[in-house]
């Protein structure tokens, strides 16, 4: 793969050095272009040493343009990776500016061959201007990876804005759009089962696993519908998002979309029981023993599995004991194609997960890593079964 790595001027530029190294290690031919601001953080010499190739930094340097100018590089590149993509660089790309070597080269490459890895302070990331600029680049066909959530360079700041780790960017570079046009449905997050207007039964699902599955499918070209319970996660760009509260809402929403999809992945942590009645007013304390009557919610996945014709079904099993055996039971009882077994202590709310994926055809895979990496591994397993 011929990769043009375009480095913007943010503190995460130091990670672009590792990215260049890993891309070379993965067998790619790598050429680099640095903005003026990037050169305040890292030097062209570093990238030259890592790639063994001259680095483009200056549109007006006669020797650079003679060796392989910005148009020659644009013609050569199969993919352009912009990492880190700063707010300034994203805005220049949206406007079609060509006022340095990086933007001039990128302007000559179709946006559908760009992979943009944003990195900036979380408040800058949240700004409507950045979101709108990136949205327009996506509309033009650019792929976006990240940003990751975590601690910013300014230690007291936490949020979305970190550059995605270099190994994940490499994986995204090498990955093909193997789900192009495939309609898929992903569910994520917890459900809330109301007791009264201010109280509910729920669980600690953050939605991260399901959102990662939606994001990964989108990056592989799928048409994604994400049905999500209450989470604090930002919307996933270019994914149809349907918000629900309770298990019954989720059942209805799944029912509305099921006829149009080829794959359903149920990562939502669905309540198995709900209070038998929702009190119209806040329930008051009473003397003596207080008893809560619960009734079962519909088992959505089992309902889909029991249909004569249904999409490929992927369930999750959140277990506290006998993880694999319990998941295997759910695989056959709910008539699923795949089930992802996770020990809840490794899963809820975390950035990473450790799972065993079991297939009805006997396949078995142990996976661990970031939720986005796991999501891709799960889609790999789905993809091979869709083909069959
Ligand atoms: O959201 P995160 O913080 O990232 O955490 C991820 C996760 C732990 C929530 C996720 O990885 C996970 O395990 N999700 C499934 C949780 C769950 O409901 O497991 P279960 O074993 O109770 O259910 C088995 C399967 O049946 C699940 O796919 C579930 O979506 C589905 N189900 C469950 C109950 C129900 N009434 N209807 C269902 O369809």
pLDDT in tens, 101-155: 999 999 999 998 999 999 999 999 999 999 999 999 988 889 899 899 887 777 7
> Are 316 and 361 contained in the same domain?
yes
pLDDT higher than 70, residue 331: yes
**Please, is 248 exposed, middle or buried when counting C-beta atoms within 10 Å of its C-beta (0-12, 13-18, 19+)?**
middle
Domains in the chain, number: 2
Residue 26 structural domain? 2-174
| Res 61: pLDDT | 79
* 132 inside domain: yes
> Which of 180, 125, 182, 115 is CA-nearest to residue 154?
125
* 145 inside domain: yes
Is residue 340 a contact partner of residue 355, using CB atoms and an 8 Å limit?
Answer: yes
Give residue 317 CA to ligand 1 midpoint distance, Å: 6
Which residue, judged by its Cα, is nearest atom 37 of ligand 1? 299
> Which of 351, 365, 359 is CA-nearest to residue 385?
359
Which atom of ligand 1 is found nearest the CA of 298?
36
| Res 388: pLDDT | 54
> Are 248 and 375 contained in the same domain?
yes
Average pLDDT over residues 171-175: 87
The residues carrying an active-site annotation are: 203
List ligand 1's pocket residues with C-beta within 6 A.
Answer: 189, 205-209, 247, 266-270, 272, 297, 299-301, 315-318, 330, 342, 347-349
> Are 115 and 212 contained in the same domain?
no
pLDDT higher than 90, residue 351: no
Final residue of a domain: which of 140, 174, 208?
174
Task: State both tokens at 4.
Answer: 């043009």
Give residue 190 CA to ligand 1 midpoint distance, Å: 8
> Are 90 and 69 contained in the same domain?
yes
pLDDT higher than 90, residue 44: yes
| Res 244: pLDDT | 98
Confidence (pTM): 0.77
CATH code of the domain in which 142 resides: 3.40.50.1950
Task: Summarize pLDDT for 202-238 with one digit per residue, the tens.
Answer: 999 999 999 999 999 998 889 999 999 999 998 888 8
| Res 237: pLDDT | 81
Give residue 140 CA to ligand 1 midpoint distance, Å: 35
Is residue 76 a contact partner of residue 2, using CB atoms and an 8 Å limit?
Answer: yes
CATH code of the domain in which 321 resides: 3.40.50.10300
Query: DSSP characters for 12-30?
Result: THHHHHHHHHHHHHTT-EE
Burial 125-160 (b: 16+ CB within 10 A, else e): beeeebeebbeebbeeebbbbbbbeeebeeeeeebb
């Amino acid at each position: 793969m011929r990769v043009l790595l375009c480095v913007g001027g943010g503190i995460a530029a130091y990670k672009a050095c590792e990215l260049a190294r890993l891309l070379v290690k993965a067998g790619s031919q790598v050429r680099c272009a640095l903005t003026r601001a990037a050169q305040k953080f890292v030097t062209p010499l570093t990238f030259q040493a890592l790639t063994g190739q001259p680095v483009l930094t200056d549109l007006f340097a006669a020797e650079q343009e003679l060796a392989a100018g910005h148009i020659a590089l644009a013609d050569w590149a199969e993919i352009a990776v912009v990492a880190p993509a700063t707010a300034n660089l994203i805005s220049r790309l949206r406007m079609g500016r060509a006022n340095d070597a990086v933007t001039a080269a990128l302007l000559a490459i179709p946006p559908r061959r760009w992979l943009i890895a944003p990195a900036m302070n979380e408040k800058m990331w949240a700004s409507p201007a950045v979101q709108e600029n990136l949205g327009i680049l996506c509309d033009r066909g650019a792929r976006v990876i990240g940003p990751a959530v975590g601690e910013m360079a300014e230690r007291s700041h936490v949020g979305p804005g970190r550059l995605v780790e270099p190994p994940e960017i490499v994986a995204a570079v090498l990955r093909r759009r193997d789900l192009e046009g495939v309609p898929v449905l992903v569910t994520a997050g917890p459900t809330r089962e109301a007791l009264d207007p201010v109280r509910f039964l729920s669980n600690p699902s953050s939605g991260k696993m399901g959102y990662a599955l939606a994001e990964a499918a989108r990056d592989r070209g799928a048409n994604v519908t994400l049905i999500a319970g209450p989470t604090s996660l930002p919307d996933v760009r270019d994914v149809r998002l349907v918000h629900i509260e309770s298990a019954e809402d989720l059942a209805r929403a799944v029912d509305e979309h099921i006829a149009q999809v080829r794959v359903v992945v149920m990562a939502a942590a669905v309540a198995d029981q709900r209070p038998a009645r929702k009190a119209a007013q806040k329930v008051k304390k009473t003397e003596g023993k207080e008893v809560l009557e619960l009734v079962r919610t519909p088992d959505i996945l089992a309902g889909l599995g029991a249909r004569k014709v249904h999409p490929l079904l992927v369930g999750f099993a959140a277990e506290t004991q006998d993880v694999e055996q319990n998941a295997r039971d759910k695989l056959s009882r709910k008539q699923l194609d795949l089930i992802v077994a996770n020990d809840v202590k490794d899963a809820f709310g975390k950035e990473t997960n450790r799972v065993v994926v079991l297939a009805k055809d006997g396949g078995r895979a142990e996976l661990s890593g970031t939720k986005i990496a796991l999501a891709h591994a799960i889609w790999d397993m789905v993809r091979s079964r869709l083909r069959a």
